[in-house]
């Protein structure tokens, strides 16, 4: 089984190092912990994994970053990787960016900075579970669609055979 990918994005290297240490300790056995210092770098990482056929499982992004805010990153990421579970960290009391991420990026959760490590870990556990459950459901739906298509084709063949018998043709 392939490892999942957790991507942390923040322009503060101290926060990134803390996230990498915390998440690596808890989730590093089954997941690769990636970090990016900007939205642009995060999108590049997502594209690289996508080219390998891997979906980033969860992204944890800061809201206030230079060049590309977290809400804009999550919206752009949602367009490229809609299955990725998105979490935003914000120290801002203005919730406009959070609303934008909810409405346009399917934001899973937002946590206020400074975040509590236990809350972050619980949120990530839940996000990873949601990611894997959604992936399982998508796989089951695809399998059911394939079975339905095969059954439909078989039914059409039988209907054609029956129509030929009714018309007196073998």
**Helix axes 70-80 and 96-105, enclosed angle (nearest 10):** 0
Confidence at residue 25, expressed as pLDDT on a 0 to 100 scale:
96
53-101, pLDDT tens digit by residue?
Answer: 999 999 999 999 999 999 999 999 999 999 999 999 987 756 777 888 8
Domain boundaries, the chain: 4-137
Rounded to whole angstroms, the Cα distance separating 155 from 33 reads: 49
pLDDT digits (tens, 9 = 90+) for 30-39: 999 999 999 9
Is the pTM value of this prediction over 0.75? yes
CA distances from 109 to 14, 50, 123, 124, 152 (A): 22, 23, 8, 10, 41
Of 71, 88, 80, the residue nearest 127 (C-alpha): 88
Contacts of 150 (CB under 8 A, 6+ apart): none
Q: Which CATH architecture has domain 4-137?
A: 3-Layer(aba) Sandwich (3.40)
């Amino acid at each position: 089984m392939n490892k999942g990918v957790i991507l942390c994005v923040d322009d503060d290297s101290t926060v990134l190092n803390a996230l990498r240490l915390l998440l690596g300790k808890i989730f590093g056995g089954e997941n690769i912990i990636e970090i990016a210092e900007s939205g642009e770098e995060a999108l590049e990482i997502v594209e690289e994994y996508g080219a390998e056929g891997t979906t980033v499982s969860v992204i944890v992004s800061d809201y206030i970053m230079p060049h590309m805010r977290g809400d804009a990153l999550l919206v752009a990421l949602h367009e490229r990787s809609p299955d990725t579970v998105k979490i935003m960290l914000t120290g801002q009391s203005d919730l406009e960016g959070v609303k934008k991420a909810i409405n346009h990026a399917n934001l899973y959760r937002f946590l206020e900075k400074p975040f509590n490590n236990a809350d972050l870990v619980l949120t990530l556990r839940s996000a990873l579970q949601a990611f894997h459950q959604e992936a399982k459901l998508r796989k089951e739906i695809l399998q059911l669609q394939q079975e339905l298509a095969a059954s439909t084709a078989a039914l059409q063949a039988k209907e054609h055979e029956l129509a030929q018998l009714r018309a007196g043709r073998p």
